[in-house]
């Protein structure tokens, strides 16, 4: 698989709030390693044995996601083959006022921060207390929440236009119902995909902790 395509797959699987990621590009051929280091010089790659380490940042210093795509495409153009892996991802820290927002408002803010062509989301709602699990499950029933084992949390899917998951509007309505009963919680978009096209299926499938969701 081309290195650029490997990066696109990694980026598509990142949570929507990611801020920085650290990548490892393993290049088994020494002659290609030297050329790759030169082509990736704008990213100031670190070298450990036959592996180059890269930082990609959404804001601030370093290279951004689009520049990373262009640099890796240069490797593909020269026939340089390697394995790209995700070593670490850092979530964007929300300001304090956002953490304390009501769930419906937090949902609206999170969706507004997504690219316009987003198609599928995998979300988590963590409750402040296990006392609210039964009532929240009832209020959230239209979005088909799945209980997270050993935690006071639910996970659910949202689809913007078609496929698996509740609609954004139904999700907002269910979260408003939770807010109306004073149930506190924290909403997180764990994974997102953009511009998916379903062929002979109702939607994409993520594998999380060895299970399809």
Residues 213 and 155: beta-carbon distance below 8 Å: yes
pLDDT digits (tens, 9 = 90+) for 111-121: 988 888 888 89
Q: Which residues of 168-184 are buried (b: 16+ CB within 10 A; e: fewer)?
A: beebbebbebbbeeebe
Average pLDDT over all residues of the chain: 84
C-alpha closest to that of 158 among 140, 176, 134, 139: 140
pLDDT digits (tens, 9 = 90+) for 119-174: 889 999 999 888 899 999 999 999 999 999 888 999 999 998 776 789 999 999 99
Class of domain 96-212: alpha beta
Residues 22 and 51: beta-carbon distance below 8 Å: no
Lowest mean per-residue pLDDT among 19-33, 98-112, 114-128, 177-191: 98-112
- First-to-last alpha carbon distance for the chain, in angstroms, is 25
**Is residue 110 classed as helix, strand or coil in its secondary structure?**
helix
What integer pLDDT is reported at residue 211 of this predicted model?
A: 63
pLDDT digits (tens, 9 = 90+) for 23-35: 999 998 888 999 9
From the options 3.40.50, 3.90.1150, 1.10.760, 3.30.70, give the CATH code of 3-91.
3.30.70
CATH 3.30.70 intervals, the chain? 3-91, 96-212
pLDDT digits (tens, 9 = 90+) for 57-99: 876 556 888 889 999 999 999 999 999 999 888 765 544 444 4
What integer pLDDT is reported at residue 207 of this predicted model?
A: 58
């Amino acid at each position: 698989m081309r290195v650029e395509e490997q990066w696109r797959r990694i980026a598509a699987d990142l949570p929507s709030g990611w801020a920085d990621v650290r990548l490892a590009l393993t290049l088994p051929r020494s002659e290609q390693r030297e050329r790759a280091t030169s082509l990736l010089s704008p990213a100031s790659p670190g070298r450990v044995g036959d592996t180059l380490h890269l930082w990609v940042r959404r804001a601030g210093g370093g290279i951004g996601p689009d520049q990373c795509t262009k640099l890796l495409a240069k490797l593909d153009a020269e026939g340089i083959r390697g394995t790209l892996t995700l070593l670490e991802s850092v979530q964007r820290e929300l300001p304090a006022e956002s953490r304390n927002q009501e769930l419906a408002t937090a949902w609206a803010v999170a969706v507004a921060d997504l690219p316009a062509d987003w198609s599928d989301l995998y979300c988590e709602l963590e409750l402040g207390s296990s006392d609210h699990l039964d009532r929240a499950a009832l209020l959230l029933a239209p979005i088909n929440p799945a209980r997270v084992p050993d935690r006071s949390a639910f996970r659910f899917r949202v689809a913007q236009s078609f496929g698996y998951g509740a609609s954004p509007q139904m999700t907002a309505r269910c979260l408003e119902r939770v807010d109306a009963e004073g149930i506190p919680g924290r909403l997180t978009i764990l994974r997102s995909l953009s511009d998916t096209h379903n062929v002979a299926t109702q939607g994409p499938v993520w594998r999380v902790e060895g299970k399809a969701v």
